[in-house]
Structure 1
Amino acid sequence: MSKRQLLLISSSRVHGFKYLEHSKDQINNLLKKKEVNTILFVPYALKDHDKYTETVRNAVNDWGYKVEGLHTKSNPIDAVKNAQAIFVGGGNTFVLLKTLYEKNLVETIRKTVKNGIPYIGSSAGTNVATLSIHTTNDMPVDYPPTFDALQLVPFNINPHYLETDLESKHKGETRDERLNEFVDYHSRPVLGLREGTSLLVDGDKATLKGDRNAKLFKANKEQVEYPPESDLSFLL
């Protein structure tokens, strides 16, 4: 039985809510179950690590959590091993993954999380939790040694998924076409997470959270919509 405890969020910012506010209940449920007091924040997806860490600290301080930036630790590997919980923030997925490899943190995070330490990912942090970062929306402004990611779940996710506007006169590629292309080449599913949604993984159970549907892209261009609270454990 897997010990993993994951909350994979589409986006930290949702219209009408403060930073992370839309996921407050899900974050609290995940962390309080493990009696977490301190979150180790991984800010590598943005350039200003101090400012990014402070943004997260300001968001969750009133919820009762202390936030420590991984970039301030003299030994990042030991910091991950000793973490009560890990939060990997959004930004540029390519920069994030490259930095994780440069600091030899990929295997360490993978082992730590698989041993039961809670992992929260948002946007890029959700991308790197999956099999690979092939389905990120980000520009490749930097180049990691491989697109293989933390592999905490055995499929890919597309955060910020936005369905095609049927009234639009735009005739270029759509998000659906690009995700179907990935599925054609790699023969594995992609879960499109819309804004305001997340995937909660508790051991071998996966549940869609939030107030919108998620879309699963499968082989042969098959697409399936799942409403909130759907059991998506079959993906694991």
Structure 2
Amino acid sequence: MKNILLASTSAMSGEDYLAYLKPSIANLFSGVDEIIFIPFARPGGISHDDYTKKVAGAFSVWDIRVTGLHTFEDSAAAVLKAKGFFTGGGNTFLLVKTLHELDLMNVLKETVEKGAPYLGTSAGSNIGGLTMHTTNDMPIVLPPSLNTMGLVPFNLNPHYLDPDPDSKHNGETRETRINEFHTQHAIPVIGLREGSWIRVQGETVTTEGLFTSRIFEQGRDAYEVAPGNQLLF
């Protein structure tokens, strides 16, 4: 049974790392004593080792041991044997490029679909969708494919921002960008505001968190779904 949490962000403004997700993380990893952390999304500012240490400190609250995927000699074998996963945020292009080049995208998908709990935040949530087309990140590298795990039957747009009528920004809004995507693709897109997440338990997919999620479907006006509601496409 799939057991997945895909969150917009790892931390709310002014809060500790993963603090707002603590009850949900405890539920997600109930009975799990060790997980693999996937640190590949960070292009700079923090090493894979330091990123893993940061996560390990947060997960020590639940007595869950965290090991970075980058430390395994045979990463595919490690993924297949893992009890659970957390993929952190950063640059989605770099994350997807690394997972494809290491031949891990399908291995990770297979293991999660067999029931290993999976937590993603930001870029780590993007790879739970069908493709990474709707990320906000700059294409600093070129992945061999934009296809991701397809753990849910839609794409995500983490850190979704509503148009600000008082802003002096003259560029496209997030909604405009997603509508542009829908001129080329029929995949639904979930705009995840900060403090919101997607919860998957078996075949049930719900929106959760502090705010409504904005739903975009090709040929329809965007609409809002309140936390706790099931998503059906």
Counterpart of 2:36 in structure 1 is 40
8 A contact 1:184–1:220 mirrored in 2: no
Residues 183 and 190, structure 1, Cα contact 8 Å, conserved in 2: no
Residues 180-228 of structure 1: per-residue CA shift (max 9 Å, x gap): 1112210121000000111000011111111111000112251111111
Q: In the alignment, residue 138 of structure 1 is paired with which amino acid?
A: D
- Residue 64 of structure 1 and its aligned partner are, at CA, apart by 1.7
Alpha-carbon distance in 1 for matches of 2:221, 2:151:
25
Structure 1 residues 17-28: aligned runs within 5 Å: 17-28=15-26
Name the residue aligned to 1:15: 13
Rounded to whole Å, the distance in 2 between the matches of 1:115 and 1:221 is 34
**Counterparts of 1:106 and 1:220 in 2: how far apart (Å)?**
31
Tell me which residue corresponds to 2:78.
79
Q: Calculate the aligned-residue CA RMSD, in Å.
A: 1.1
The amino acid of 1:30's aligned partner reads L
- SS of equivalent residue, structure 2 residue 167: coil
Q: Which amino acid aligns with 2:2?
A: R
Q: Structure 1 CA distance, aligned partners of 2:182 and 2:203?
A: 23
1:204 counterpart residue number: 203
Aligned to 1:218: 217
Relative to its length, the structure with more helix (as a share) is: 1
Tell me the distance in 1 between the aligned counterparts of 2:220 and 2:134.
16
Runs of 4+, deviation exceeding 6 Å: none
Question: What TM-score results when the alignment is normalised by the length of structure 2?
Answer: 0.96
Matching of residue 173 in structure 1 with residue 172 in structure 2 = yes
Aligned-residue identity in percent? 44
- Contact 1:180/1:221 (8 A) holds in 2: no
Instruction: State yes or no: 1:29 paired with 2:27.
Output: yes
Q: Is the 8 A contact 1:98 1:144 kept in 2?
A: yes
- Count of residues paired in the alignment: 230
**Which 5+ residue runs of structure 2 have no aligned equivalent?**
none
Question: Distance in 2 between the 1:211 and 1:189 partners?
Answer: 22
